[in-house]
Amino acid sequence: MSNTTSNDLLDKQLLWRYATKRFDPTKKISSRDWQSLEQSLLNAPSSFGLQPWRFVTISDMDLRKKLLPHSWNQPQVVDASHLVVLAARTSVDPEYVDSFIKRICAVRGMQEATLEQYRGMMNGFVASLTAPGAVENWCANQVYLALGMLLSAAAVLEIDTCPIEGFSAAAYNEALGLPSKGYSAKVVAALGYRSQDDALAGLAKVRFPAEQIFERR
């Protein structure tokens, strides 16, 4: 199978990507491109395939302005074309596992009886996470897998991004009503197009040498 994206192009786009600090508020992501970015989140990997997350896109500018002081006053929150809150489930119970089993059967035309071992494996793993907050922390790890997919997909489309951890999760949770739905905000992603006056855009990417990062055996 031939690559639809060349290795050189992939390398180029990932090098092009950086954490954009200043977005051009006049430039908006097209509906078609946004559809592809949402698809990247929908197709993101997760342990067992459980997808213990919810992605909240905030278009309401009044709400964004309300969240700005709870985001270290980072201008990306209001200037970016799109703002997405990536939230993790605060618990994973057998009922949620059952809903996933039913979804597998619906999509793949399988019988639930053939997935009993898989159901037991998932419930057993979740039950083993007995430390306080362990389940939510595990779910948060899955959210970061989705974030990686989103950032990479955006880079391929030459859409700028900035992952944001500098925010009050409690304030976001309250504003979005997430706790009542069983979720908690973990990371925010701003997406759009870089401003011409973002001084960071032209700087060389700084990474440790490959020999310091990779170990091959």
Q: What integer is the mean pLDDT of 128-132?
A: 97
pLDDT at position 2 is 56
HSE, side-chain direction, 13 A CA sphere, residue 161: 25
Q: Left if phi > 0, otherwise alpha if psi is -120 to 50, otherwise beta: which for 51?
A: left
> Which pLDDT band holds residue 5 (cuts at 50, 70, 90)?
confident
Q: What integer is the mean pLDDT of 186-215?
A: 97
Check pLDDT > 60 for residue 153: yes
pLDDT at position 3 is 62
Q: How much is the mean pLDDT over the chain? A: 97
What values do phi and psi take at 158, rounded to 5? 55, 45
**What are the structural domains, with CATH classification, of the chain?**
19-213 (3.40.109.10)
Report how far residue 96's alpha carbon sits from residue 188's, in angstroms, rounded to the nearest whole number.
Answer: 25
pLDDT at position 186 is 98
Over residues 168-179, the pLDDT tens digits come to: 999 999 999 999
Residue whose structure tokens are 């990536």 = 86
Check pLDDT > 50 for residue 73: yes
The answer to whether 145 and 44 are in contact (CB under 8 A) is yes
The answer to whether 184 and 170 are in contact (CB under 8 A) is no
Check pLDDT > 80 for residue 1: no
Q: What integer is the mean pLDDT of 180-187?
A: 98
pTM for this predicted structure: 0.96
Residues 156-174: b if buried by 16+ CB within 10 A, e if exposed: bbebbbbbbeebebeebbe
